[in-house]
Amino acid sequence: MKSLLRVVLVILVAAPFAAHAGQVREYWVAAESVTWDYAPSGKNLLHPGSDMGVWGKRLSYPKYRYIRYTDATYRTPIPQPEWMGILGPELLGEVGDTLKVHFRNRADRPFSMHPHGLRYDEDNDGADHRGAGAMIAPGKSYTYTWTLDEGAGPGPSDPSSIVWLYHSHVDHVADIYQGLIGTIVVTRKGMAISSADPRPRDVDRNFTTLFMVFDEEDGAEGGLKHAMNGYIFGNLRGLEAVEGERVRWHLVALGSEVDLHTAHWHGETVLDHGRRTDVIELLPASMVSVDMVADNPGTWLYHCHVGDHMTAGMMTRWTVKPRPQPTVAPPGPQPN
Ligand SMILES: [Cu+2]
């Protein structure tokens, strides 16, 4: 009887872990040349009738981006939501998983992929001009193997998923300004929706925003694009939640000493590791994940609160759509 009890106990304790044995998640990602437009509408959408000052004189620049494909043929790119802007694909996993990222360099200079936070050996650091993955020449490929161990996942005070940056690390500064930036989101073990869907199950919607001043013209003011996900003056669009949703915001920043940003939401507050606020402080390579309950329908500003950055257009709007009302049948004939 005692041994039967022990067997039952072992099964009960082990079952939740067995259900989510570590997955190997494969991604096919290429670095490619693109033309990036910081304001696709061509307009200052924050103040219709105003122009974009010196920052609007030129809006398109040659850049590079990480593009995700469906498979090893690299023929079918996977579309991203409009709000992701210049960000590369979001790489997802749960603690215990392994990411296999098949990187192909389709650009004309050497690039790499360097992940923050994950577990890797020297070949898979994607940096430092050492190791097999440090510098992938044009036309070449490399498969990065990154492990999502406990040290890559949410800590005791973190929410159920946390954000990490990845970026190219060959020409350390230039690669980032060129646009080779993306994020990884790691979900706490046991908190994934399913083994096929590693997003956290206590969240209804995730947004990620990168605050960064892209330097396009060696420091000339008009070439300092004070961008959110690569867009200025309200051109970052598609940040839409529905009333009642639990929204997790992943905030990241990169750049230089001008990149001290204070991300500020109108209309709602967030919970930042137990602290209630509506402003999150960011420095280059900051990575913060905070939670919001979107309970205030409306269209609201979302912007950097640094004065100089607001002037340069580091602002946009986001929307909480009203919860759809249940349809009520019109009253029928009253019974006598
Ligand atoms: Cu700022």
Average pLDDT over residues 60-86: 98
pLDDT recorded at residue 334: 60
- Residue with token string 């350390």: 172
* Domains assigned to the chain: 22-321 (2.60.40.420)
- 257 CA distance to ligand 1 middle (Å): 11
CA 114/CA 156 separation, integer angstroms:
25
- 199 CA distance to ligand 1 middle (Å): 29
Average pLDDT over residues 209-235: 97
- 231 CA distance to ligand 1 middle (Å): 13
Instruction: Provide the pLDDT confidence category of residue 330 given band limits of 50, 70 and 90.
Output: low
Mean predicted lDDT score pLDDT of the chain? 93
- 195 CA distance to ligand 1 middle (Å): 38
pLDDT recorded at residue 6: 62
- Helix, coil or strand: residue 175: helix
Token representation of residue 266: 């109108």
Residue of higher predicted confidence among 325 and 60: 60
pLDDT of residue 4 exceeding 80, the answer is: no
Contact between 105 and 118 under an 8 Å Cβ cutoff? The reply is no
- 24 CA distance to ligand 1 middle (Å): 37
What is the amino acid identity at position 289?
A: S
pLDDT of residue 244 exceeding 50, the answer is: yes
- 274 CA distance to ligand 1 middle (Å): 24
pLDDT recorded at residue 326: 78
- 303 CA distance to ligand 1 middle (Å): 8
DSSP conformation letters of 276-328: EESEEEE-TT-EEEEEEE--S-EEEEEEE--HHHHHTT-EEEEEEEPPPPPP-
- 322 CA distance to ligand 1 middle (Å): 30
- 260 CA distance to ligand 1 middle (Å): 6
Tens of pLDDT, residue by residue over 187-205, are 999 999 999 999 999 999 9
pLDDT of residue 99 exceeding 80, the answer is: yes
pLDDT of residue 7 exceeding 60, the answer is: no
pLDDT recorded at residue 328: 74
Closest C-alpha among 124, 232, 128 to residue 171? 128
Tens of pLDDT, residue by residue over 262-279, are 999 999 999 999 999 999
pLDDT recorded at residue 250: 98
Where is average pLDDT lowest: 54-58, 192-196, 322-326, 327-331? 327-331
* Rg value, the chain, Cα: 22
pLDDT recorded at residue 308: 97
Residue of higher predicted confidence among 11 and 136: 136
Torsion of CA 184, 79, 303, 323, to 10 degrees: -100
> Residue 31: what are its φ and ψ, rounded to 5°?
-95, 130
pLDDT recorded at residue 3: 58
Residue 17, CA atoms < 13 Å, CB-side half-sphere: 6
- 1 CA distance to ligand 1 middle (Å): 66
DSSP conformation letters of 190-247: T-BS-SS--SBTT-SEEEEEEEEEEESSTT-GGGEEEEETTB-TT-----EEETT-EE
- 324 CA distance to ligand 1 middle (Å): 35
DSSP H or E stretch at residue 27: strand 24-37
- 308 CA distance to ligand 1 middle (Å): 8
User: In angstroms, how far is the first alpha carbon of the chain from the final one?
Assistant: 66
- 261 CA distance to ligand 1 middle (Å): 4
- 304 CA distance to ligand 1 middle (Å): 5
The pTM for the full model equals 0.91
Tens of pLDDT, residue by residue over 138-168, are 999 999 999 999 999 999 999 999 999 999 9
- 243 CA distance to ligand 1 middle (Å): 28
> Residue 222: what are its φ and ψ, rounded to 5°?
-65, -20
CA geometry: angle at 283 spanning 281 and 285, to 5°? 125
Token representation of residue 66: 């990480």
pLDDT recorded at residue 18: 46
- 285 CA distance to ligand 1 middle (Å): 13
